[in-house]
Amino acid sequence: MDHFYGPGRNHLFVPGPVNIPEPVIRAMNRNNEDYRSPAVPALTKTLLEDVKKIFKTTTGTPFMIPTTGTGAWESALTNTLSPGDRIVSFLIGQFSLLWIDQQQRLNFNVDVIESEWGQGANLDILASKLAADTAHTIKAICIVHNETATGVTNNLAEVRKILDEYRHPALFLVDGVSSIGALDFRMDEWDIDVALTGSQKALSLPTGIGIVCASPKALEASKTAKSVRVFFDWKDYLKFYNLGTFWPYTPSIQLLYGLRAALDLLFEEGLDNVIARHSRLGKATRLAVEAWGLKNCTQKEEWVSDTVTAVVVPPYIDSSEIVRRAWKRYNLSLGLGLNKVAGKVFRIGHLGNLNELQLLGCLAGVEMILKDVGYPVKLGSGVAAACVYLQNNIPLIPSRI
C-alpha cells in the first residue's frame, strides 16, 4: 500500500530514480540465496562481462559495488589518488558541486574550474592549465558527463583531445551516473580511466548498485594510491575475481537478478536504439518547452541533455510550487530546482525505460500545472509540438516489424 495512495500509476519524471520495467520487477521477486553457492558466481560472471558493453569497453574492469553513485565517486577517487594530489574538477551544477565537496573532504588538492549554472565545462581553462603544467602536477581530471541539476551534457571527446594535445598523463575520471546506458558513451575510444554509474538511472533498477569501470591505467594507479579505503577497495574485489567467487562481502541477490533482466532489455532493444530513443525524448521535450514560451536552463544547443530538461520559469512563479502541485493534484513527479536554481527551474526527467507516449502524458500534465500556477500557457501547445516531431521520427518497434 502506498503511504499516500493515488489512483492509477505515479508518473515518475524525475531524472532518477526512474521507472522500473515489469520484467525487472518480476526478476527481483525472489527469495535470498547463498551467494557462496555456484549459482551466484555464475550469474555475477555474466554480469561483469555484459556490463562492460554499456560503457563500450573491452579493456576496462568493472566493479559492481552495493552503494549509490556517491559511493561510486568515492571508489573512483580513493583507489586511484593519494591525499594532497592535485586534481582539476569542473563545477557546473549541484552534482558536480557535491563531487567537488567529496574530493575536498578526502584531502585532495582540488583546482576548481567554475562555470555559470546552465553552461558546460570551460575547456579553454582546462587547456591553459594543462599547457602550464609541464611538471605534470595534475594527477586527475574529474568531470560530470551529464549534470542533472541544469540539464547540461559535457563533451568528453573534447576533454580527451585536449589531454592528448598536451600529452598530459593525468587520469580521466568521469561521473556517468545519468548518462551511461542512455547517452553516447565510449570509454575505450575516449580513453577514460574511470567511469561510473548508478543502477537507478538508465538501467532502470532500484538504487543500490554503484558500477565503476577502471582502465588498465587506473588499475595500475590503484597499486600506489595511498588514500584510505576499505569497503570500496578494488584490491579486495580483484582478489575474489581471481578466486572465481567474485564477492568480498554480501551482495544484493535481488538486484543482481534485476540487473540481469535490465541488461537483457537494453541489449534486446539495442544500445544504439536506446541512445536514439533518448535523443527523441529529449528533442520532443525541448520543443514542448519552446512552444510553452519558456526557456531551457541549458544555455547552448551543444550542451543540451537527452536525459533531463531543466525548465526556467518566470520570476513571478516559484518552480517548487509546480513540483508540489504536480504530485498533489496529478500524481506526477517532477524534479525540483536545486541550490542556485532552487525556485527558478523545474526538471523533466526523460531517462530509462520510457517511451514516447509516456512522455506525452507528462507534458500534458505540465501544461495543466502551468495553467494552475498562473502561467498563460495555451493548453495542448507543447504536446502538439512534441507530437508533430515524434510522429515523424518514431521508428517501428524492432521486435514487431
Residue 128 CB contacts under 8 Å (≥ 6 apart), including other chains: none
**Residue ranges, CATH 3.40.640.10, the chain:** 22-267
What is the SS3 string spanning 294-342?
CEECCCCHHHECCCEEEEECCCCCCHHHHHHHHHHHHCEEEECCCHHHC
* Cβ–Cβ < 8 Å for 143, 89: yes
Binding-site residues for substrate, in ranges, read 347
Rounded average pLDDT over 129-137: 98
Of residues 399 and 234, more confidence is placed in 234
Rounded average pLDDT over 338-363: 98
Cα separation values, 202 from 155, 304, 345, 380, Å: 19, 17, 23, 29
Binding-site residues, in ranges, read 347
Rounded average pLDDT over 132-154: 98
CA–CA dist 388, 5 (Å, integer):
35
CA–CA dist 147, 119 (Å, integer):
10
Question: Which of 2.60.120.260, 1.10.1060.10, 3.40.50.300, 3.90.1150.10 would CATH assign to domain 11-18+270-392?
Answer: 3.90.1150.10
Dig out the grid coordinates for 376 from the structure. 498563460
Place of cell 507543447: 382
pLDDT at 401: 84
**Residue ranges, CATH 3.90.1150.10, the chain:** 11-18+270-392
Backbone angles phi, psi at 300, to 5 degrees: -135, 150
Given a cut of 80, whether residue 379 has pLDDT beyond it is yes
pLDDT at 251: 96
Dig out the grid coordinates for 348 from the structure. 523533466
Rounded average pLDDT over 95-115: 98
Given a cut of 80, whether residue 1 has pLDDT beyond it is no
CA–CA dist 285, 350 (Å, integer):
8
- Over the chain, what is the mean pLDDT? 97
Given a cut of 60, whether residue 98 has pLDDT beyond it is yes
* Predicted TM-score (pTM) of this structure: 0.97
pLDDT at 2: 61
Q: What is the largest CA-CA distance in the chain?
A: 64
pLDDT per residue over 14-31, tens digit each? Answer: 999 999 999 999 999 999
Rounded average pLDDT over 33-53: 97
- Among residues 145, 138, 159, 70, the alpha carbon closest in space to that of 106 is found at 70
Residue 328 CB contacts under 8 Å (≥ 6 apart), including other chains: none
Rounded average pLDDT over 190-214: 98
**What residues pair up with 41 in beta bridges, in sequence order?**
none
Cα separation values, 248 from 35, 235, 256, 366, 394, Å: 11, 10, 15, 46, 45
CATH number assigned to the domain covering 22-267 = 3.40.640.10
The alpha-carbon radius of gyration of the chain (Å, integer) is: 21
Rounded average pLDDT over 193-222: 98
Rounded average pLDDT over 52-78: 98
* Cβ–Cβ < 8 Å for 304, 337: no
CB atoms within 10 A of CB 97: 21
CA–CA dist 360, 386 (Å, integer):
7
pLDDT per residue over 274-284, tens digit each? Answer: 999 999 999 99
Given a cut of 90, whether residue 7 has pLDDT beyond it is no
CA–CA dist 72, 203 (Å, integer):
15
